[in-house]
A and B are shown apart, each in its own frame.
Chain A
Amino acid sequence: MCLGIPLKILAVETPGCGFVDLDGAAQPVDLSLIENPRPGEYVIVHAGFAIERLDTAEANARIQWFRELR
């Protein structure tokens, strides 16, 4: 049930609605729980809703740190 995964916003249509990229397919998403969503941003999608935005700077820093682990 808790399938929250980070997906990229492809388009923001009417306020609160848009599409995310799910494995190459445009999937409708409700964006009403996010302040000022913009195309290109990543959001965590759960049950058809973006519940939070992904901070890509934080994510990239963590990825970099993990990659340096040997």
Chain B
Amino acid sequence: MNPYIDAFREPTPARALARRITDLASQIPKDRRPFRIMEVCGSHTMAIARYALRDALPPWIELISGPGCPVCVTDPGYLDAAIELAHRGARVFTFGDLLRAPGSRETLTDARAGGGDVEICYTPLAAVEAARADTERPVVFLAIGFETTIPPAIRAAVEAHHAGLKNFSLLTAFKLIPPALEVLASDASLQIDAFLLPAHVSAIIGATAYEGFVRVHRRPCVIAGFEPLDILYGIENLVHQALAGQACVENQYSRVVRPFGNPRAQNLIEEWLEPEDAVWRGLGVVPRSGLRLRSDRAEFDAARRFALKITAGRPHPACRCGDVLRGILHPQACPLFGVACTPERPVGPCMVSSEGSCSAALRYRVSMRNVE
């Protein structure tokens, strides 16, 4: 029993919110339908599928999952480099959902079956502990993720630094949400009318971090928590903004997100990292959408320490994850979905990660409504 989770899952207010959205959405003129809302957060994707929130909305409100799952947007070339590290004798630590994500030729699971030392951890601090326990062997933490996961990974490097460990490093592929929003909003073919902004990314960067984006791109934006009532209320507010002709950043997750975010986390990022262009599956190269270790922190950079060349990987030729991540293909419309590509034998990362759109669609049998 957790009062701050359970209270946001109660069915009676959920039904009331769904009715309010339906009433409000009836005012959306026919020529502005469908009204397409994109979320850019794997936990939103999961919650929307798990609680069948699409089924509670009128059919002309479309919820589109964008590139919000960190594993899904990671280029296979990064996995190739991680796999190479395992083959070269490093102890590779990773969050579990990266384990079966396909590289160009194999997965980390394959590398492990082939004798590579690949270990799952729930916190990057476990990798630091492993480095401390055996200082002879190099330990690499696979540091992917958005703004939420970056401070924990860097804190692990700080711990290693304070402990004087010379055998700990990060293989980074950090990504930033605001530059991705720019790309998504600039692509008219995606026809995104509004954005449901991520909860815990926003906890780090703050609600004001999106103001420049909204000023330029003029889309309604609401920061919402992950629980069903949060999401439904977020949707109601997005429709409200659209009908009023407004486009602003509303923070409906003020119990966690502050206007200027978490200064400790931001200082850590500032001290250790610098912007770089990053490759996103589905979006291609997005300028200054990634963060890499600064050159004065090079000793913690696995790519530099192991002289790894991270090149663009080769996804499976039939995989449509890129289109799924841009919201132009519904997971069920992919010819591989549930047949050639399943959670047991995934072809693309969106079926691997528990936060992936395809995995969510299959696990919760998301209705085929709105499939083009």
B10 near A51 with CB under 8 A, answer no
Number of interface residues of A (CB under 8 A): 31
Across the two chains, which residue of chain A brings its CB closest to B123?
Answer: A48
Q: Is B346 part of the binding interface, using a Cβ–Cβ cutoff of 8 Å?
A: no
Q: How far is the CB of B53 from chain A (nearest CB, A)?
A: 15
Contacting B at CB under 8 A, from A4-39, are 4-7, 30, 32-35
Prevailing SS type, chain B contact patch: helix
Chain B, residues 132-163, CB within 8 Å of chain A (1/0): the string is 00000000000001101101110100000000
A30 near B125 with CB under 8 A, answer yes
Number of interface residues of B (CB under 8 A): 50
Q: Is B169 part of the binding interface, using a Cβ–Cβ cutoff of 8 Å?
A: no
Across the two chains, which residue of chain B brings its CB closest to A55?
Answer: B255
- CB contacts (< 8 Å) of A54 on chain B: these are 4, 255-256
A2 and B13 contact, Cβ closer than 8 Å, known pairs A30-B123, A49-B152: no
Q: Sample 28 A-B pairs with CB under 8 A, ordered by A number.
A: A1-B70, A1-B97, A2-B42, A2-B145, A2-B149, A4-B199, A4-B203, A5-B2, A6-B2, A7-B2, A30-B152, A30-B155, A33-B155, A33-B262, A46-B148, A47-B95, A47-B153, A48-B152, A49-B123, A51-B151, A51-B152, A51-B204, A52-B258, A54-B255, A55-B255, A56-B4, A59-B4, A69-B16
Binding site for A on B (CB under 8 A): 2-5, 7-8, 10, 12-13, 16-17, 20, 41-43, 70-71, 95, 97, 122-126, 145-146, 148-149, 151-153, 155, 199-200, 203-204, 226, 229, 233, 254-258, 262, 264-265, 268, 353, 355
